Structure 1
Amino acid sequence: MSTSVDERVTDEVEALEAILMDDVVIKRVDDVPQSIETVVHPSTGDDTDQQYVCVTLEVKLTPGYPDNSPEVTLRNPRGLDDALLAAINSQIQEKLIDCLGQPVVFELLELIRENLTESNLPSGQCVICLYDFTEGDVFIKTQCYHYFHSHCLASHLIAGRKYYQEELEKLPNWQQMQAPPYQQTCPVCRCALTCDVDTLKKAPAPVESITAPPFRLTAELKALQLKMAALLSQQVAKGGVVAVGDTGPPPLTITSPADNENEASIGSASALPDAKPELGNGHNGNASHDAPGSPQRGYKGPYRGFNRRGKPGRRGRGASR
């Protein structure tokens, strides 16, 4: 845009700021408006708790606006599926053509608000149970504008608290004292939640979970099973799968620098023709390293989550009492 702002743009921006106040963000460069951004909600009067969907409208004022169409983007949709967003975007493009030559931001706001009001019900699936939202479902809108069946969210939060408690009990007492308290989080974005689980778990299960037909193994699922089984066999053959009963080499061993030095010295000693095995503690050369009083070799078995090496202050295996 040029430094001289079109009077039509100035009037439109002033009207938006007067009506939307803090709900609109006008980005300027050298006092010249460059873009307009606001969050659009459905029309529900003063009852904001009944606003289940929203979307952020961003309008970039191109050079020559309003005689040229601006660039319009819908961001951060909440409760809207791809089909509905595509329909709104199609209507926006038609509106831009019809209103070419005049300010269009108010027209776009009303267009989007009408669509949101008609579709003021979360579309898509509950990410916990993967059933759609249908009429008769009891659902909840979180502070971060994500939607779940109340019954499903209660089950998720109860399981999360149980898992947290189980992991906490595995810690030493001093770590349990320092551990932060359990915090409810959104299953989608991990934002903190404040939900009354006792109220949520009283809600009925999703309608589709009750009315859905019983599971049947279709030909399509059988074909998918065969395909996945073949893929697993291919991965096992290439050593890409670690499973119970594997007879191959362990994927991970625990060694220490001393082990590497011992192996190097043993290898160099065996290369000498007159090399003799070391004697220790008065035993002959046939004594094994596992004999009492002999140096302990580092653990080389498969990793099992604990350290088998000697620790300071602890009696080594086989040492004198």
Structure 2
Amino acid sequence: MRKKHEKYERLIAAAREKAPLATAVAHPCDETSLQGALEAAEAGLIVPILVGPKEKIAAVARSLKADISRFEIVDVSHSHAAAEKAVELVRLGKAELLMKGSLHSDELLSAVANRETGLRTARRISHVFVMDVPAHPQTLFITDAAVNIAPDLMAKRDIIQNAIDLFTGLDLGTPKVAILSAVETINPSIPSTIEAAALCKMADRGQITGGEIDGPLAFDNAISMEAARIKGIKSPVAGQAQILVVPNLEAGNMLAKNLSFLSKADAAGIVLGARVPIILTSRADNVRTRMASCAVAMLFAHRRRVTEPVRV
């Protein structure tokens, strides 16, 4: 039998071979978020800079019986200030990664997206779930299920490119990208099928690069060779997809949570398209998932050190 969570273990093992990166952790003021940061530090993945109310962080550390004396704490009064200060540390070059603590995602991403003081680039910011599904041989990337609610065609181009760049940045090879819809044929009554066809043509014309792309594909024939065979779909992607591009946030969120709760998958979360990778965990995430999120972000940041100049 396939070992449960072996895909995450491989990612974490690969990350341990790299130098840990300074990581601004915004508002780690509950046990799960602080423990996740501390265990990632213990594993040699990150060097956390804890940004938030100092006394509250210290109280959480005491409840965990954790020693945080060796870590820098930047004292700010509340979660909104923690988000802004953590982003500032990245802008100043004092941190190479940004990590969400116990604040809301919108609060952190609002600071990231600020045109004057944030971490925006020319690329659309998007989210990728890196799913370790115990019963499935492939690591599945699902995008975007957390940031872009109803992305248009050009936003989807950036969403796909962000996911491809992450996949290749983790040294996983050339990804097979399935653009999902309810069916695998063009239907004018289902707009996502028309967008899928347009995105495939954009890839043919070099507007999306680095992956093999096909769509529209339904979920079954995107991940099951047997389903693709039965439906007569001949494609280098069908049945073997590694990146699943969903039509909108609702579809992606339901797909990811379905895999998490029914297939016992873990879902590491990372936001791309900003100046640095952002570790965007859920308050419901277990420590293993938080560790995997740190490993993914850290490996990607190391690859970007090689391919891109450092911007501060």
TM over 0.5: no
TM-score relative to the length of structure 2 = 0.19
- Which structure is higher in RCO with an 8 Å CA cutoff and minimum separation 6? 2
Q: Which structure shows the higher helix fraction? A: 2
Bigger Rg, structure 1 or 2: 1
